[in-house]
């Protein structure tokens, strides 16, 4: 158990809809990262937050947004969903003193 | 930009065989290097890491050495077990660049009795 939790575990929705994925980092970790894992794109970095502030952006679509709240949990919002958004979405957290990131179990999103 | 290249899978081995999974990288700065493992239906677990040239990371019988001269971080294990069957990802991060991870495509390992 990495100490990072993600909900829900599975999400099935229709094209055009909007969903919210939730992540709670390990206790004390200020940095949260979101990654997308798909068959065609592999594992890709989406966005990073540090103590409530956006720190880095990767290949994140404009239809996607994220935020980190004062209690340090983070949410990834995906809107106007398309079939191609079907993927595993992972959250990871990192302690400021360490290089490594610890991953949650992921949310599997299926867009029908 | 930064990138990681891994050998294509799947790699199929008999139990107790020697394992090597090749990984090379391209980076603009001085990266930290990682191997993560993903078991079926699970998230990614950190297997080992190395933060500077000539460092050797090791865990659970797996080893990898940070080779700056060949920009490589090959994963090795002397004797694999069926329980090692998983997908292995090589990754790098740059300190000061937010430490985001750049992953290779992953290598699936299947170990048979």
- pLDDT of B7-41, one tens digit each? 888 999 999 999 999 999 999 878 999 999 999 88
Residue range A14-68, pLDDT digits in tens? 999 999 999 999 999 999 999 999 988 899 999 999 999 999 999 899 999 999 9
**Residue B84: pLDDT above 70?**
yes
How far apart, in whole angstroms, are the C-alpha atoms of residue B97 and residue A45? 13
d(CA A89, CA A96): 23
pLDDT grade for A85, boundaries at 50, 70 and 90: very high
- Provide CB contacts within 8 A for B20, sequence distance 6+: B74, B75, B76
Q: Say if CB B76 and CB B18 are below 8 A apart.
A: yes
> Counting Cβ atoms within 10 Å, is residue B82 exposed (0-12), middle (13-18) or buried (19+)?
exposed
Task: Determine contact: A64 vs chain B, CB below 8 A.
Answer: no
Which chain B residue lies closest to A49 (C-alpha atoms)? B98
| Interface with chain A: mutation pick from B2, B98, B105, highest number of A CBs within 10 Å | B98
Query: From CA A18, how far away is CA A81, in angstroms rounded?
Result: 6
Partners of A42 on chain B (C-beta within 8 Å) are 103-106
Which of B36, B93, B105 minimises the CB distance to A99? B93
């Amino acid at each position: 158990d990495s100490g990072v939790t993600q909900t829900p575990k599975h999400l099935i929705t229709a094209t055009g809809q909007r969903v919210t994925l939730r992540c709670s980092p390990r206790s004390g970790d200020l940095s949260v990262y979101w990654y997308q894992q798909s068959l065609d794109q592999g594992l890709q970095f989406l966005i990073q937050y540090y103590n409530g502030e956006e720190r880095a952006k990767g290949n994140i679509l404009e239809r996607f947004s994220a935020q980190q709240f004062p209690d340090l949990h983070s949410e990834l919002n995906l809107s106007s969903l398309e079939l191609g958004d079907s993927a595993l979405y992972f959250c990871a957290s990192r302690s400021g003193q360490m290089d490594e990131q610890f991953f949650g179990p992921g949310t599997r999103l299926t867009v029908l | 930009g930064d990138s990681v290249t891994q050998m294509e899978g799947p790699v199929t081995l008999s139990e107790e065989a020697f394992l090597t999974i090749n990984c090379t990288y391209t980076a603009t700065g001085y990266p930290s290097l990682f191997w993560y493992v993903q078991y079926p239906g699970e998230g990614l677990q950190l297997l080992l890491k190395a933060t500077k040239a000539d460092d050797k990371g090791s865990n659970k019988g797996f080893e990898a050495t940070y080779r700056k001269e060949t920009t490589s971080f090959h994963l090795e294990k002397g004797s694999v077990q069926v329980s090692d069957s998983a997908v292995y990802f090589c990754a790098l991060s740059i300190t000061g660049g937010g430490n985001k991870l750049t992953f290779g495509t992953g290598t699936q390992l299947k170990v048979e009795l």
